Amino acid sequence: MSTEKDEKPKKEQGKMSLEEYEKEVIKLADKGLTSEKIGEELKRRGIHPKEYNKKISKILKEKYINPDLKNVEEKLEKIEKHLKNNKQDKRAMRERSRVFSQVRKIKKYQKKL
């Protein structure tokens, strides 16, 4: 008995063009995946980003917000949601200020680029 998990995905026939590769990355980003998850998904399909000499994060920067910034902002939102329900949580208050400073640093760094 074979299930879907047991079967390996089929490798792509031939190499994709750079435009097709970029379209595939953007399509996966539209599903809500981060650059790290997009890389994992492409490797499962047999597509390796090193063959195209263009990083996934650079493709996403052209159209989307920086994935690092997105991840840290999501973390900040979760902490603030937690603090609304738990006003006395001192550790969460400290974590909020720490994560907020990370957001500020990333935004400052992005302006320099």
Residue 47 belongs to what domain range?
18-63
Shared-domain flag, residues 55 and 71: no
- Tell me if 5 is assigned to some domain: no
Shared-domain flag, residues 43 and 78: no
pLDDT band at 98 (very low <50, low <70, confident <90, very high): very high
Predicted local confidence at residue 3, as pLDDT: 52
- Provide the number of structural domains found in the chain: 2
Tens-digit pLDDT profile for residues 35-65: 888 888 888 888 887 787 778 877 877 777 6
Shared-domain flag, residues 52 and 78: no
- Tell me if 8 is assigned to some domain: no
Higher pLDDT, 94 or 42: 94
- 57, 67 in Cβ contact below 8 A? yes
Shared-domain flag, residues 47 and 24: yes
